[in-house]
Chains A and B, each alone.
Chain A
Amino acid sequence: MTRSGHTVRALTALAALFVGVTFLIPVIWMFAASLKPESAIHRDVGAVRSFVPAPPTLENYRGAFHRGDVGITLVNTLIVVTVITLGGLLVNGPAAFAFARMRFRGCELLFLLIVTTIIIPLELIVIPLFMTVRTTRGLVEIIGERPWTLAALSIPFMAKAFNIFLLRQYFLALPRSLEEAAFMDGVGWWGVYWRVALPNAKTAITTVILLDFIVHWNDFLWPLVICQAANTRTVQLGLGNFFTQPPISWGAIMAYAVLATIPMMLILGVGQKRIAQSLVTTGIRE
């Protein structure tokens, strides 16, 4: 390579670095502000110091826990997301397998019906869904406010047309020979599903779990509609509420925001590429 080629490459790399850092300014500021005393946040604004967490303090995190109850909202969100992903797998998996492998009366029609519901956004049905779910409000007397709300946050979202569609694509691609061998051994459909199909569809299952986790960890609209008591809020709703509640402390708000972000970052750091890939492949094939 020539000397000028080297220079061009070095300049491009520098440009990339510059663009990257500029792009991240808001996020860097969020982390820095969460670790600084309130007065320092306002004093440093606009200076390079505003990106340096000095003097560092955990006071804001204490504020997020004590005044903002971030702890209980994190626990709530974790419960809701776990119920949705695991319950969803129990509901969507067998359905996807049946649509991929079994022939039964009405299977095409039913599958078409399910796939059509992919185009129905939550925003369209949020009000009537709220009216439907509200009819079970009487259960609050029996099971209590918090369990009822957590159930209302999770159960309606377990069955999901898109997940059935995605899992079915993977089951269709599995070689039939595997299942035939299992049938020879006298295993029924359940056995084939649990012992052959599921273990071979690990990639698809991970994708579905990741997608569900992201969507429902981030959801704001449904919790906003359904949560009434403070101890039933999800972490996103809790943050949306905390940041308008006086006395307003930017540091504590940013600490809350960081705590709401870290679990997602961990999950997505692992799974982002896989999600994009499966969206590309299923999206084009559709």
Chain B
Amino acid sequence: MARREMLTAYMFVAPAILMIAAFVLWPAVITFHTSLHRTTLTDPGPGEYCGVENYRAVMSDPEFRRSAINTIVFTVLVVPAQTVLALLLAQWTNGPGWASRSLRLAVLIPTMISLTVLSVLWKLLYEPVSATGSGLFNGILTSLHLPPQPFLTSPRQAMPAIVVMSIWQGVGFQMMIFLCALQQIPAQLREAALLDGAGRWRRFCHVTLPGIAPTAAFVVMMTTIFALKLFVQPFLMTRGGPQGSTLSIVQFIYETTFFRRDLGLACAAGAVFFVGVSTIAVVLRRMLRAAECLR
């Protein structure tokens, strides 16, 4: 290729490369660098080198352990339930008719609303009974003569409450992706199975499932990573409480930076988090690939 064209090519890619280097790669490098130094928020640069001290501190920090367990519990509860629900809804609403179309739209609406808005909304819905009045859910429970629940104010119910809200919010997006995948399965396959006398269940297992397997693998990966980054819902609904029962890893990093002002510790937590998420993503991918090969 001529020199001038080479120069043009570099001009095409230079702005993007420079900006990604400055705003993604450089901060990523700083994360690891800062995690090896004693640094506070007010320091202009990284402080004195301290080896893996921050990593040791973060791994034995009871709050960090708590946040890691909470985040994993959230992910383990949300991802399978949401995926199965989305698949069922996609299967149910995949077809013509006003009823299917309305249900599809209804399930999609929460995904069109931001997590911030929905967290604020559900905080009010979950409000316990008090002198000023109660939230909608407790109002409904009361009018059904059922005992009112503390929901977000109880350490035992807060995380399940956030899980329910998150599934409700995310299921539509997953359903939409499954619907696209279902529509790409060739109709002949289904007809052939029908002609062979395969029942509903067998058609689902042998035609539908294999047809959407690659999409399902992709969706499970995406949802898992998204769930591990849990922050907005607990931050707005419970601030991580009560008694740390909904503290997430990202909130731990945020608070370590701005309240404890310990940048070294926050960056070590960030690095642990990144390695954790990447490992889970790689393992999950391997497992899903293996599952695909098995069929």
Task: List the interface of chain A (C-beta within 8 A of B).
Answer: 12-14, 16-17, 19-21, 23-27, 29-30, 41-43, 45-47, 50, 90-92, 94-95, 97-99, 102-105, 107, 110, 113-114, 117, 119-121, 123-132, 155-161, 164, 188-190, 193, 217-218, 220-221, 224-225, 236-237, 239-240, 243, 250, 253-254, 257, 260-261, 264-265, 268-269, 272-273, 276-277, 279-280, 283-284
Q: Which of B138-155 contact A (CB under 8 A)?
A: 138-143
Specify which of B27, B99, B184 is in contact with A132 (CB 8 Å cutoff). B27
A92 touches B16 (CB 8 A): yes
B68 beta carbon closer than 8 Å to chain A: no
A99 touches B13 (CB 8 A): yes
With A125-B31, A220-B232 known to touch, is A253 a contact of B16 (CB < 8 Å)? Answer: no
B22 touches A123 (CB 8 A): no
B108 touches A272 (CB 8 A): yes
B103 touches A265 (CB 8 A): no
CA distance A123 to B235 in the complex (A): 14
Task: List the interface of chain B (C-beta within 8 A of A).
Answer: 1, 5-6, 8-13, 15-20, 22-28, 30-31, 34, 92-93, 97-100, 102-103, 105-118, 120-125, 132-136, 138-143, 168, 173, 176-177, 179-181, 184, 214-215, 218, 222, 225, 229, 231-232, 235-236, 250, 253-254, 257, 263, 266-267, 270-271, 273-274, 277-278, 281
Minimum CB–CB distance for B218 against chain A, Å: 4
With A95-B13, A220-B115 known to touch, is A189 a contact of B5 (CB < 8 Å)? Answer: yes
What residues of chain B lie closer than 8 Å to A12, measured between beta carbons? Answer: 99
Specify which of B5, B103, B109 is in contact with A19 (CB 8 Å cutoff). B103
A132 touches B121 (CB 8 A): no
Number of A-B contacts (CB under 8 A): 268
Minimum CB–CB distance for B208 against chain A, Å: 15
Specify which of B9, B113, B253 is in contact with A123 (CB 8 Å cutoff). B253
B23 touches A29 (CB 8 A): no
With A50-B136, A95-B12, A99-B13 known to touch, is A127 a contact of B125 (CB < 8 Å)? Answer: no
CA distance A218 to B115 in the complex (A): 7
Specify which of B117, B118, B168 is in contact with A23 (CB 8 Å cutoff). B168
A16 touches B92 (CB 8 A): yes
What residues of chain B lie closer than 8 Å to A17, measured between beta carbons? Answer: 99, 102-103
Specify which of B92, B125, B143 is in contact with A47 (CB 8 Å cutoff). B143
Minimum CB–CB distance for A283 against chain B, Å: 4
Specify which of B25, B92, B98, B110 is in contact with A27 (CB 8 Å cutoff). B110
What residues of chain A lie closer than 8 Å to B254, measured between beta carbons? Answer: 126, 221, 224-225
Minimum CB–CB distance for A27 against chain B, Å: 6
B177 touches A218 (CB 8 A): no
CA distance A191 to B272 in the complex (A): 47
What residues of chain A lie closer than 8 Å to B142, measured between beta carbons? Answer: 46
The residue of chain B having its C-beta at the shortest distance from the C-beta of A20 within the complex is B106
The residue of chain A having its C-beta at the shortest distance from the C-beta of B18 within the complex is A159
With A46-B142, A102-B5, A221-B250 known to touch, is A91 a contact of B215 (CB < 8 Å)? Answer: no
What residues of chain B lie closer than 8 Å to A114, measured between beta carbons? Answer: 16-17, 20
Minimum CB–CB distance for A177 against chain B, Å: 20
Minimum CB–CB distance for A87 against chain B, Å: 9
